[in-house]
Amino acid sequence: MPSVLVIGGGLAGAAAATHLARAGCEVLLLERERGPHDKVCGEFLSFEAQDELRDLGVDLQALGAVPINRVALAYKQAETATPLDFTGLSLSRRVLDEAVLARAIAAGAQVRRGVRATTLERSGGGWSVTTDTGETIKAQAVFLATGKHDLRGWRRPSGPQPDLLGFKIYWRLAGPCSLGSTVELHLFPSGYAGLQMVEGGRANLCLVVHKAAFAALGGKWEALVTHLRETCPSLAARLSGAAPCLPRPLAIAAIPYGLVQRHSEGVWRLGDQAAVIPSFTGEGMSLALHSARHAVEWFEAGRSAEDYQRKLARDLAGQVRRSTLASRALVAPIPQGLIGRLLTPMLMRRTLRTTRIRPSVRAGLADLSS
Ligand SMILES: Cc1cc2nc3c(=O)[nH]c(=O)nc-3n(C[C@H](O)[C@H](O)[C@H](O)COP(=O)(O)OP(=O)(O)OC[C@H]3O[C@@H](n4cnc5c(N)ncnc54)[C@H](O)[C@@H]3O)c2cc1C
Encode pLDDT of 86-136 as tens digits.
Answer: 999 999 999 999 999 999 999 999 999 999 999 999 999 999 999 999 999
| CA–centroid distance, residue 176 to ligand 1 (Å) | 32
Which residues is 186 bridged to in the sheet? 74, 193
Residue 85: is its pLDDT beyond 60?
yes
Share of the chain above pLDDT 90, in %: 86
pLDDT at 243: 95
| CA–centroid distance, residue 132 to ligand 1 (Å) | 21
- Residue with the smallest CA separation from ligand 1 atom 24 is 147
CA 169 – CA 56 distance, rounded (Å): 28
Determine phi and psi for 321, rounding to 5 degrees: -65, -45
Q: How crowded is the C-beta side of 228, counted as CA atoms within 13 Å?
A: 29
Q: What is the mean pLDDT of the chain?
A: 94
pLDDT in tens, 133-164: 999 999 999 999 999 999 999 999 999 999 99
- Residue with the smallest CA separation from ligand 1 atom 20 is 285
Edge-first strand listing for the sheet containing 27-31:
110-113, 27-31, 4-7, 141-144, 268-269
CA 208 to ligand 1: nearest atom: 1
- Residue with the smallest CA separation from ligand 1 atom 30 is 147
**Lowest model confidence (mean pLDDT) among 18-27, 46-55, 106-115, 169-178:** 169-178
Determine phi and psi for 258, rounding to 5 degrees: 90, -5
Q: Does the CA dihedral 45-326-166-189 come out positive or negative?
A: negative
| CA–centroid distance, residue 12 to ligand 1 (Å) | 8
Q: Give 176's pLDDT tier (boundaries 50, 70, 90).
A: low
CA 37 to ligand 1: nearest atom: 49
Domains and CATH numbers, the chain: 4-68+87-159+255-328 (3.50.50.60)
| CA–centroid distance, residue 59 to ligand 1 (Å) | 20
Determine phi and psi for 212, rounding to 5 degrees: -65, -40
Long-range contacts of 64-69 (CB under 8 A, 24+ apart): 64/91, 64/95, 64/199, 64/200, 65/89, 65/90, 65/91, 65/199, 66/90, 66/91, 66/181, 66/196, 66/197, 66/198, 66/199, 67/181, 68/44, 68/181, 68/182, 68/183, 68/196, 69/181
| CA–centroid distance, residue 299 to ligand 1 (Å) | 23
| CA–centroid distance, residue 292 to ligand 1 (Å) | 13
DSSP assignments along 145-173, one per residue: --TTPPPTT-PPP--SB--EEEEEEEEE-
pLDDT in tens, 49-78: 999 999 999 999 999 999 999 999 999 988
**Lowest model confidence (mean pLDDT) among 21-25, 149-153, 231-235, 356-360:** 356-360
Residue 1: is its pLDDT beyond 70?
no
| CA–centroid distance, residue 271 to ligand 1 (Å) | 8
Residue 366: is its pLDDT beyond 50?
no
| CA–centroid distance, residue 219 to ligand 1 (Å) | 23
CA 33 to ligand 1: nearest atom: 47
pLDDT at 358: 82
- Residue with the smallest CA separation from ligand 1 atom 28 is 147
| CA–centroid distance, residue 105 to ligand 1 (Å) | 20
Surface-to-core class of residue 281, CB atoms within 10 Å of its CB (0-12 exposed, 13-18 middle, 19+ buried): buried
User: What does the pLDDT average to over 297-311?
Assistant: 97
Q: Give 351's pLDDT tier (boundaries 50, 70, 90).
A: confident
Residue 186: is its pLDDT beyond 80?
yes
CA 286 to ligand 1: nearest atom: 11
CA 291 to ligand 1: nearest atom: 26
Residues contacting ligand 1 via CB (< 6 Å): 7-13, 30-33, 39-44, 49, 116-117, 145-149, 151, 166, 206, 208, 252, 255, 271-272, 279, 282-286, 288
